[in-house]
Amino acid sequence: MSTKNVMIVGVGGQGSLLASKLLGRLLLDEGYDVKVSEVHGMSQRGGSVVTYVRYGEHVYSPVIDKGEADVIVSFELLEAARWLPFLKKDGTVVTNIQQIDPMPVITGAMEYPGELVEKMKNSGAKVDALDCLKLAEEAGSSKAVNIVLMGRLSHYFDMPEEAWMKAMEAIVPAKFLEMNKKAFELGKNA
């Protein structure tokens, strides 16, 4: 198979590292070669952050370039729009509809663009938007946004649910497991 590309984007501090850890574990368990590229350091202070996950028979580059992502998973709506040029023409955006104002919006220098889901759809992308924060709170913690998104992402992966659960058991601390399983289901069935 050719290498598949998944990008996880969001705002520093939103918990994307756990999501990439889960995906990495899942893909390795399924027998793929995997590379995951992360951002540490300064950008984590509330900046725009991106994680690249690539898998296949043999993966060379750790990064995903413009026009290469099969799926973009976004923790925040504006970030989905920002990274849209990295999506393949027939790719899918799975995004949380939560909006976090960046500093130019906070200071009033720019406006947060409206109707982003529609605009992304009009650009030709398939967009799967959901209120992950609400679903995460329903599952028991606003911090489970990442797992809600992973539940939704599972629609676009040809892998049995047991494999996801097995990866989750390996990654998530036992005391949060039930809550996260619920978050996964809520995301999946949303």
Binds another protein by CB under 8 A, chosen from 1, 2, 107, 174: 107
Please give the Cα distance from 22 to 25 (Å, whole number): 5
Please give the Cα distance from 9 to 71 (Å, whole number): 11
Contacting range for another protein; rule: CB under 8 A; set: 77-85, 155-163, 164-172, 176-184: 77-85
Find the farthest-apart pair of alpha carbons in the chain and give their distance in angstroms, rounded.
49
Residue 141 to residues 8, 9, 97, 135: CA-CA distances in angstroms?
20, 20, 17, 9
Q: If you write DSSP's letter for every residue of 73-103 in order, what string do you get?
A: EESSHHHHHHTGGGEEEEEEEEEE------H
State in angstroms the smallest separation of the CB of 179 from another protein: 18
DSSP H or E segment with residue 176: helix 174-189
From residue 81 to residue 100, the character string flagging contacts with another protein as x (rule: CB under 8 A) and all else as - is: xx-xxxxxx----------x
66 binds another protein (CB under 8 A): yes
1 binds another protein (CB under 8 A): no
Binds another protein by CB under 8 A, chosen from 97, 105, 165, 177: 105
Please give the Cα distance from 96 to 27 (Å, whole number): 23
User: 121: burial class by Cβ within 10 Å (0-12, 13-18, 19+)?
Assistant: middle
173 binds another protein (CB under 8 A): no
From residue 16 to residue 45, the character string flagging contacts with another protein as x (rule: CB under 8 A) and all else as - is: --------xx--x----xxxxxxxxxxxxx
DSSP secondary-structure letter at 58?
S
Contacting range for another protein; rule: CB under 8 A; set: 118-126, 144-152, 156-164, 168-176: 118-126
189 binds another protein (CB under 8 A): no
Binding site for another protein (CB under 8 A): 11-12, 24-25, 28, 33-48, 59-63, 65-68, 78-79, 81-82, 84-89, 100-113, 116, 119-120, 122-125, 142
